[in-house]
Amino acid sequence: MMKMRFLAIDGFNLIRRIFEARKVTSQEDMAAVIDASRSSVIRALGTHKPSHAAIVLEHHDRTWRHLLYPQYKANRSETPALLLSELPRFEAAFLEAGVLSCGVASYEADDVIATMVTAVTRHDGNAIILSTDKIYLQLVGPRITVYDHFAEQTFDQAYIEKRYGIRLGQYVDYLSLVGDKSNNIKGVPGVGPKSAIEIFGKFEGLDEILSSVEDSSIVNKVQGSEVEARRSRQLVTLKTNVELGLNLKSFRLP
């Protein structure tokens, strides 16, 4: 039996990039955005040749992260109402291309996609996540890669180690210290990428740093901000157990 090859597309990541690049100002402009988004999906199918594919679209409601941290994404601009109003047309266009769209209320696309690709690996399959969002790098492994459709670049284990100077598996704790500006997650005050690389060369992860008896400036900073570090880790960690209401067979391509 052929192994599953699953393409998970971060829908808003794709269509908003196209929407903003075209400087849309009116309803009349949306037809071109929808057509370009559909063409991008078709191109992605041709590039990756998946056996299964899904486009995950968020509901843009409050999620469990907002309840945990009310300032979550407070630095983000609102999703344009014009774009949200056209979602049914986007979904219809994607379905014409053969790909089903889905989403789960109160969860971001990140968590839904993380759940999907984790399930794929449990079935001995491989998964590609189509997104420019670096939060997905925590999922990278032997069976999961992240792909930037616009730059045509694959993000794998070698990329993480070279780009961030950390080992695979340390990425979540790395973000717990340095924060995630795009989502307004602060991390530990006074700890930047350079300091994080240094400390992760000595310690495996956040828990080891917090339990260390080493008396150094960076260890003291992390231990002095334990609450912030643990909250940041909770916020950046993607959930892999979202109830999807659909099984993987639903996303098999024609």
- DSSP, res 145: E
**pLDDT digit string (tens) for the chain, length 254 residues:** 678 999 999 999 999 999 999 888 888 889 999 999 999 999 999 999 999 999 999 988 889 999 999 999 998 888 888 899 999 999 999 999 999 999 999 899 999 999 999 999 999 999 999 999 999 999 999 999 999 999 999 999 999 999 999 999 999 999 999 999 999 999 999 999 999 999 999 999 999 999 999 999 999 999 999 999 999 999 999 999 999 988 999 999 98
**DSSP string covering 216-230:** -HHHHHHHHTHHHHH
Spell out the residues 6+ positions from residue 84 whose beta carbon is closer than 8 angstroms to its own: 60
Task: Report whether 14 contacts 37 (CB < 8 A).
Answer: yes
CA nearest to 109, candidates 98, 101, 121 = 101
| Residue 29: CB atoms within 10 Å | 13
Query: Which H or E element spans position 144?
Result: strand 144-148
CA distances to 15, 16, 37, 111, 118 from 250, in Å? 23, 26, 22, 18, 16
Length of the chain: 254
Task: Give phi and psi for 76, each to the nearest 5.
Answer: -85, 145
In a 13 Å sphere around the CA of 186, the CA atoms on its Cβ side amount to 14
Global pTM value: 0.94
SS3 201: coil
Query: Which H or E element spans position 9?
Result: strand 5-10
